[in-house]
Amino acid sequence: MATRYEETFKGKRVLITGGLGFIGSNLAIKLVELGAVVTLVDNMIPRQGGNLFNISPITDKVHVNFSDVRNQLSMNYLVQGQDYIFHLAGQVNHVESVRNPIQDLDINCRGTLVLLEACRKYNKDVKLIFSGTRGEYGTSVHLPVNEDHPTNPKGIYAVTNLTAEKMILVYHDIHKIQGICLRITNTYGERHQMQHDEFGVLNWFIRKAMDDETIPVFGDGRILRDFLYVGDLVDCFLMVATCPQAYGEVFNVGTGIPISFIDLAKKIVQIAGSGRVDFTDFTPERKEVEPGDYYTDISKIKRVVGWEPKTSLEEGIRRTIEFYRKYRDKYWGDAFK
């Protein structure tokens, strides 16, 4: 079935910040397929998701700029002539955020402001899409969580995402830089880092199962979450970007379907055909930032944009396992460094 954006990106110039990471690289592959002229900017920060293998299907079809979104000279240059910017560069490691919160402030807030200033000075007509997090809500006071839910972030990672979102909305209103802010639920799938468990819980569970090890589920495993397949998120980015009514708005992005961590872990073991599940205590730094149950009310994005996810959790897990069975050596250990 043809999508709304099938023809829109042909020949369009697109900049993806954080483009060598998990979401950015999946988005880049789809945009190249649609005929866009794609530039990726990434600083390959250690222990995050940047991996050159992520773009192996399109290496000779994209421009890669190893730079930092905090670098004003680079960003002033890179934003010029772009039709769309997908701003995905961020400090995303929740554990690192507790260890080194100043870095979150620097990358997520200052980096976003540098990008916005570059747009204001050198490309006021660009369309900007920002990947914020469901963490901006903090502990849910009602479920499912809609966009009017209070924002009481539990950690500095989420505080700095909320601040970046507000900056984008301010530039939209005052400087007329068209922006859209997404609050995205936990996302999983192909091209996520598999090195450590400091972020990306579902992908980590998959690694444990594939290694025939025990999946450690924190607490009693009954906390509810909403897990989105990356292919559906890519579709969402392209749908919002091509929806004029979406600019100036904040949207929740998720499935709206909750699952407990224990049921998730059991499902992964069953689909992988290996591994086992056991309970473990929360580490103190995990406990501090754990917001509890979350699942998304996606009625706004359905109504305004016409987007909704299409991939079942079972199908998404199956595809993810298949990908890592094929390319395991590119993601396990230190192979890609």
Minimum distance from CB of 3 to ligand NAD (Å)? Answer: 22
45 binds ligand NAD (CB under 6 A): yes
296 binds ligand NAD (CB under 6 A): no
Minimum distance from CB of 11 to ligand NAD (Å)? Answer: 26
Inter-CA distances, 119 with 33, 68, 108, 241, Å: 26, 16, 17, 17
Active site residue 157: yes
Q: Which is nearer to ligand NAD, 90 or 275 (CB)?
A: 90
Which of 14, 16, 50, 272 is in the footprint of ligand NAD by CB under 6 A? 50
70 binds ligand NAD (CB under 6 A): yes
Q: What is the DSSP code (8-state) at residue 283?
A: P
24 binds ligand NAD (CB under 6 A): yes
Cis peptide before 144 (omega within 30 of 0): yes
320 binds ligand NAD (CB under 6 A): no
Please identify, among the stretches 35-43, 72-80, 147-155, 272-280, the one whose residues bind ligand NAD according to the rule CB under 6 A.
35-43
18 binds ligand NAD (CB under 6 A): yes
Place of tokens 């050596």: 329
Q: Which is nearer to ligand NAD, 42 or 249 (CB)?
A: 42
Q: Which is nearer to ligand NAD, 64 or 274 (CB)?
A: 64
Which of 5, 14, 15, 21 is in the footprint of ligand NAD by CB under 6 A? 21
Number of CB atoms found within 10 A of residue 270's CB: 12
89 binds ligand NAD (CB under 6 A): yes
Residue ranges of E strands in the chain = 13-17, 37-41, 63-65, 84-87, 127-133, 178-184, 186-188, 214-218, 224-225, 227-229, 250-253, 259-260, 276-280
Position 168, amino acid: I
Please identify, among the stretches 7-15, 36-44, 136-144, 209-217, the one whose residues bind ligand NAD according to the rule CB under 6 A.
36-44
As a whole number of Å, the CA-based R_g of the chain is 19
The answer to whether 274 touches 209, Cβ cutoff 8 Å, is: yes
Q: Which of 5, 84, 137, 157 is flagged as catalytic?
A: 157
Which pair of structure tokens corresponds to residue 266? 């059991």
Burial label, 310 (beta-carbon count in 10 A; 0-12, 13-18, 19+): exposed
What residues between 171 and 230 interact with ligand NAD by CB under 6 A?
184, 186-187, 193
Picking from 240, 261, 269, 254, the residue whose alpha carbon sits closest to that of residue 311 is 254
The answer to whether 304 touches 150, Cβ cutoff 8 Å, is: no
What residues between 93 and 122 interact with ligand NAD by CB under 6 A?
107, 111
Q: Give the CA-trace dihedral at 31, 36, 39, 45, to 10 degrees.
A: 0
Sequence-ordered list of residues with C-beta below 8 angstroms from that of 174, at least 6 positions apart, any chain? none
Total number of residues that touch ligand NAD (CB under 6 A): 31
16 binds ligand NAD (CB under 6 A): no
Q: Which is nearer to ligand NAD, 111 or 144 (CB)?
A: 111
88 binds ligand NAD (CB under 6 A): yes
Positions marked active-site: 157
Which residues are at the interface with ligand NAD (CB under 6 A)? 17-18, 20-24, 41-45, 48-50, 68-70, 88-92, 107, 111, 131, 133, 184, 186-187, 193
